[in-house]
Amino acid sequence: MKHYYGNTSMTAVSVLILVVATATGWFYYYDETVKNESLIESHQRKQASLTKQQDKLSQLLEQADENKFELEVRLQKQTRRVLSSQTELLAQLETQQNSQAELTSSLEKSRSENRELDERMQEADDQALSKHAELQNSALKLTALLEKSRNENRELDERMQEADDQALLKHAELQNSQVELTTLLEQSRNENRELDERMQEADDQALSKHTELQKSQDDLNALLAQARKEKSNLETRLQAETNSAQLTTAELESELQKRQSAEKSLLEEITVVSGQKTELQIRLEREQASKEHIENLKTRLEQELSESRVEISQLKNSMTVIKLTSEVLFNSGSAEIKSAGKEVLSIIAESLNAYPQRAISIEGHTDSRPVAQNSGYSSNWALSAARSLSAVNFLQLENQVDPQRLRLVGYGEYQPVSDNDKVDGRQQNRRIEIKLLPLEPAEPN
């Protein structure tokens, strides 16, 4: 009877394991990566609980074996009193067989309910597959995990089957022992009373074990009900998570579009910056070449003139300024260029023509002394403007400088660079400035 209840309990445990494994598989299938670990831990806890129950049943079997050995030893001394209780034992055996038939029927009914549950779960599986075609990649991974879980469950079932086989062997051994016991009963009538007491104790123990097994059965039924409730909760969570997954997919698509747009804008900015970098490199090379060209021009002019009569400077804004004292180009009070001045302007024109894209400003300056009455000019302003015009005409007509690049300015005595009260100061103020203007910045795209 102990082994029978043990077998029934093991079968119920197998049913519970199947239900729990199925629910765990569904949980793996629909809960994705974040919740897989919690399901695995829950499954492991349930397996640990089942393992503990199996160990407990094994201990009960071992205790039954020990009781059997003890009974055999005692039966050798007390077989005479067992014969009268044989009829009662046979009646109890028949009762146990009837109970076994009822439990078998209950087990068959439970298996039928499990098959119906499997069919319903299969129908839910088909519906979930039809509604979630977009999640097939994740489903494949989860199916692999489910298959692994099923393999583990099959291994556990095999182990449980082995345990059932061992229990059957124990049961067969008990039956053999019962035959031997019947033989011994015929020889132990004289010790019947003491054996009755022992058997009563054994019955009490069996009843206690039966009560414990019945409690385990109730616990398993409660676990089965809880598993069904968890299945219903899983289905509800599955629907909610399906809706959430659809919303998440839409959000991800929107975020992807935003990132693609941002990436496109970034690429455009990189292209613009790359173009600006190339343009700056070109300008830097041009400025470097301009510096070298200006240095060469300065060297040539210094060879023609003294350092005090020519000054070349390059400002931070890339403007190049060539200052010539008026005596280099003109006689006092005159705007006609001297022959030596023409040679100097021709040298300067070569450098100016090397930068065809840059504008040229010719600016005339005088000192503060009034012009002579016979000079033909009404003021220093008119004289400075006339000298600028002469230089512009010479550069255009004699040296082919593009007239669209040229402009002239007459400042008179109003922008001095030194003191007009001194001879040296007045000489520095009488000057012609030729300015090579920087390139205009490119218009932004």
**92-116 pLDDT, tens per residue?**
777 777 777 777 777 787 677 768 8
Average pLDDT of the residues of the chain: 77
- Per-residue confidence at 369, pLDDT binned at 50, 70, 90? very high
Percent helix, strand, coil in the chain, to 5, is: 80, 10, 15
Quote the pLDDT of residue 361.
94
Quote the pLDDT of residue 198.
74
pLDDT over 50 (residue 232):
yes
User: What span, in angstroms and rounded, lies between the C-alpha atoms of 435 and 281?
Assistant: 24
Indicate the pairing of strand 431-436 with strand 360-365.
Answer: antiparallel
Cα–Cα distances in angstroms (integers) from residue 331 to residues 324, 340, 346, 361, in the given order: 13, 11, 18, 22
Q: By the 8 A CB rule, do 329 and 383 touch?
A: no
Largest CA distance in the chain: 174
- Per-residue confidence at 181, pLDDT binned at 50, 70, 90? low
pLDDT over 80 (residue 419):
yes
Handedness of CA 361, 366, 368, 370 (dihedral sign): negative
- State mean pLDDT over 356-370: 92
**123-174 pLDDT, tens per residue?**
766 775 776 666 677 657 767 766 776 777 677 677 767 767 776 777 777 6
349, two tokens: 């024109």
Quote the pLDDT of residue 194.
75
Torsion of the alpha carbons at 325, 330, 331 and 336, rounded to the nearest 10:
-160
% of the chain with per-residue pLDDT over 90 = 17
- Per-residue confidence at 431, pLDDT binned at 50, 70, 90? very high
- State mean pLDDT over 37-43: 69
- Per-residue confidence at 444, pLDDT binned at 50, 70, 90? very low
pLDDT over 50 (residue 442):
no
% of the chain with per-residue pLDDT over 70 = 73
The CATH fold of domain 305-436? 60s Ribosomal Protein L30; Chain: A; (3.30.1330)
Quote the pLDDT of residue 138.
61
Quote the pLDDT of residue 303.
63
- State mean pLDDT over 229-255: 76
Quote the pLDDT of residue 445.
37
User: What span, in angstroms and rounded, lies between the C-alpha atoms of 3 and 16?
Assistant: 19
- State mean pLDDT over 11-39: 64
Quote the pLDDT of residue 289.
66
Tell me the pTM. Answer: 0.38
Nearest CA among 141, 208, 150, 156 for reference residue 51 = 156
- Per-residue confidence at 47, pLDDT binned at 50, 70, 90? confident
- Per-residue confidence at 2, pLDDT binned at 50, 70, 90? very low
User: What span, in angstroms and rounded, lies between the C-alpha atoms of 16 and 208?
Assistant: 24
- Per-residue confidence at 432, pLDDT binned at 50, 70, 90? very high
Strand locations in 210-316, DSSP E? 310-314
Instruction: Give the angle subtended at the CA of 372 by the CAs of 370 and 392, to the nearest 5°.
Output: 85
Where in the chain are all domains bearing CATH 3.30.1330.60?
305-436
- Per-residue confidence at 308, pLDDT binned at 50, 70, 90? very low
Q: By the 8 A CB rule, do 40 and 190 touch?
A: no
φ, ψ for residue 358, nearest 5 deg: -105, 140
Quote the pLDDT of residue 407.
94
